[in-house]
Structure 1
Amino acid sequence: MAKIKQNSPVLFFYNNSKKWLTKISKNESFHTHIGILKHSDAIGKEYGSKLITNKDKYVYLLEPTMYDYVMRIQHGTQIVYPKDIGYIIARAGIGDGQKILEIGTGSGSLTSFVASVVKPRGHVYTFDVDENFMKIAEKNIKKAGVSKYVTQHNMDLKTAKKMPLENMDVALIDLGDPWVVIPQVRQMLKGSGSVFAICPTMNQLEKLTMALVENEFTDIESTEHIIRNIEAREGKTRHSFQGIGHTTYLCFARKAFFGRSRASTKKSKPAEAKKSTSKPVKKSTKTIKTKKSTSKPVKKSTPKTSKKSLEK
């Protein structure tokens, strides 16, 4: 049985709209509209127990999941929601031991979730150019307890001359112009490696798809994921009036080899034939030497003939 201790993370759960994520500290109290919760009262209790406030309201002490961390992280930018993250992980087949490239750390929601899946043998390498967002992400990643499995880089891959990584299993892109980094992503992905890009608009989706085709990616798929909550109650179950609608479009693809270089080679066969005739450019060097050697006698033979002509 997992029991709550000093510094244990706890989700104080009152209802679906009123829940608070905190770390237990025996000298602290949590003040809410439903009353005061003393942290010390939670210490020693099993996860799932309940606490009574001074207003006779009760909350459950739940062990936080990665979903809870993601939904309650500090937002520096728009986050990637669990409904989209779940599909990304499933579709790309992300699992323990994989190396993940992320371009656009943002608030670190996707970073944290993916790191929790690839640990303990895998790692997430995340890149961003905004130091302020990176600091927010660092706090969120630390709060989620996955700092050990994440390396943050303050680097603009759009302008990088040399790619810092290779043989990545999956690339995740969360930029306003994801198509710009597709050539760089291709260099860092292994063969058949997956790429997922987050696109808030369809215009971005179109440009991205064109770039994926140009850079030899296949299995291209664009999707949108919407969750509709149901309020299930005896005799009056109905759809919820609240819910998360459109958040983003997702674009998935895999690195392939179209054989374009081979096709261009076939087309250029005549040119190669020319090269092959000129390939004896190396041989022709020898020929040139022989010519030089023959040309030397030419110089000698000229005086000989001239002597003969003089004798005549």
Structure 2
Amino acid sequence: MSTAPASPSSSETPAETPAGTPAGTPDGTPSAPHGAAARRGPFRPGERVQLTDEKGRMNTITLTPGGAFHTHKGFLLHDALIGATEGTILENTSGQLYQALRPLLSDFVLSMPRGAAVVYPKDAGQIVTMADIYPGARVVEAGVGSGALSISLLRAVGDSGSLHSFERREEFADIARGNVETIFGGPHPAWQITLGDFQEQVLEQEEPGSVDRVVLDMLAPWECLDAVATVLSAGGVWISYVATVTQLSRTAEAIRADGRFTEPEAWESMVRGWHLEGLAVRPDHRMVAHTGFLITTRRLADGAVGFTPKRRPSKTGFSEEDLNAWTPQAVGERDVSDKRLRRVARDAASTIQRGALPPEEAQARRDAIADGGSVE
């Protein structure tokens, strides 16, 4: 089952806008990329606006004529924002100051409605860059979730590109569609959603070797090897987002064993903000640490067989030299003399004496330690 906004697919495009040709105005001049108009000019009814108070607290509102933003410290009329310039600072009824700005993509992603965990901006940025998502590229993705990554991919491919998203669950597709249309101000002309299993649907929807980039966010990307190898063009990039080490390892080994891809590469990114206040400049106590791993590989030409880069073989055994390298003397430890050992024994005996043992038992323990014995 396929559900999509009115947009070009792999086999048909609107007559007035052929695939790969930017849409234009009636006089033939190129128009701005889709959604750009909503990011410029004064605030308009229906727009989302981010209000930040003097303590740095942020609230996002949707402008409605006659509406008001209420807090325990007064209210601010929406009409005061409609028609105002972005970056305006306004005062509410109790004198509280607010700066009004359009939310950035990172702000929107972390606050938008979600039915599944979103791909964080730090990972979406890595995917767009490291997978080389370019304007006009033909991209397929699987695992739409709440649409966070789809938004970044659509911005990268532009109106002349193509993003074909596959999602198993209809409710996730609906949430993603709502979020995408909110930030772009309507259906994006380069986007198509297909409901169903990626492995089956992508082979029906896309021609072999016709896709430039494949982006997978799913539990078992190794199960999609054949489907990816079929639709991905020679030199095309496949990038997967996985959450655990076991998923990462299994995906990498499956790619190596398949032979139709280059040696996989994997990494994770962590972002740590900094506190900036006068001379109190230090790392924040909190950071966005592990969210997931990214693993990428490229499609080889048909008939080419991948190889693993030659590396110096690691040692599997230990020589006498290896063993001698880890003796106490080799690592800088000093020999402990018998005299020192006897002194430590006396110290241990005196510790017993200071305890709450009966004198006879304490003396017996001291004698045992002094003679080199043990105390049960």
User: Matched residue of 1:142: which SS?
Assistant: helix
Of 13-22 and 23-32, the range deviating more from structure 2: 13-22
CA drift at 1:147: 3.1
Gaps spanning 5+ residues in structure 1: where? 262-312
- Aligned twin of 2:238: 195
Please point out which of 139, 161, 180 is paired with 1:141.
180
In 2, Cα distance between equivalents of 1:176 and 1:15: 43
User: Matched residue of 2:264: which SS?
Assistant: strand
CA drift at 1:162: 3.8
- Aligned twin of 2:358: none
- Aligned twin of 1:31: 70
1:85 to 2:124 alignment: yes
Please point out which of 67, 83, 87 is paired with 1:48.
87
Residues 207/54 of structure 1: CA separation in 2 closer, same or farther (3 Å cut): same
- Aligned twin of 2:271: 227
In 1, Cα distance between equivalents of 2:103 and 2:295: 30
In 2, Cα distance between equivalents of 1:231 and 1:193: 41
1:145-156 equivalences under 5 Å are 145=184, 147-156=188-197
- Paired AA for residue 155 in structure 1: G
Structure 1 runs of 4+ aligned residues shifted over 6 Å read: none
What is the identity percentage for the equivalent residue pairs of Structure 1 and Structure 2?
Answer: 25
- Paired AA for residue 36 in structure 1: F
In 1, Cα distance between equivalents of 2:59 and 2:153: 23
Of 48-57 and 231-240, the range deviating more from structure 2: 48-57
Gaps spanning 5+ residues in structure 2: where? 1-39, 306-376
In 2, Cα distance between equivalents of 1:76 and 1:23: 21
- Paired AA for residue 181 in structure 1: C
1:16-27 equivalences under 5 Å are 18-27=57-66
Deviations 1:28-66 (A, max 9, x none): 112235542211110121101112122322221112332
In 1, Cα distance between equivalents of 2:149 and 2:239: 12
In 2, Cα distance between equivalents of 1:132 and 1:13: 32
- Paired AA for residue 93 in structure 1: D
Q: RMSD of the TM alignment (CA)?
A: 2.2
Asked if the contact 1:157–1:163 (Cα under 8 Å) also holds between the matched residues in 2, the reply is no
Please point out which of 200, 213, 226 is paired with 2:256.
213
CA drift at 1:209: 0.8
- Aligned twin of 1:296: none
CA drift at 1:148: 2.9
1:73-112 equivalences under 5 Å are 73-112=112-151
Deviations 1:104-157 (A, max 9, x none): 111110001111221121121100111111111111111111633321110112
- For normalisation by structure 2, the TM-score amounts to 0.65
1:241 to 2:285 alignment: yes
- Aligned twin of 1:165: 206
- Aligned twin of 1:253: 297
In 1, Cα distance between equivalents of 2:89 and 2:266: 44
Asked if the contact 1:47–1:62 (Cα under 8 Å) also holds between the matched residues in 2, the reply is yes
In 1, Cα distance between equivalents of 2:292 and 2:156: 22
User: Matched residue of 2:118: which SS?
Assistant: coil
- Aligned twin of 1:116: 155
In 1, Cα distance between equivalents of 2:54 and 2:120: 20
**Greater share of strand residues, 1 or 2?**
1
Residues 121/161 of structure 1: CA separation in 2 closer, same or farther (3 Å cut): closer
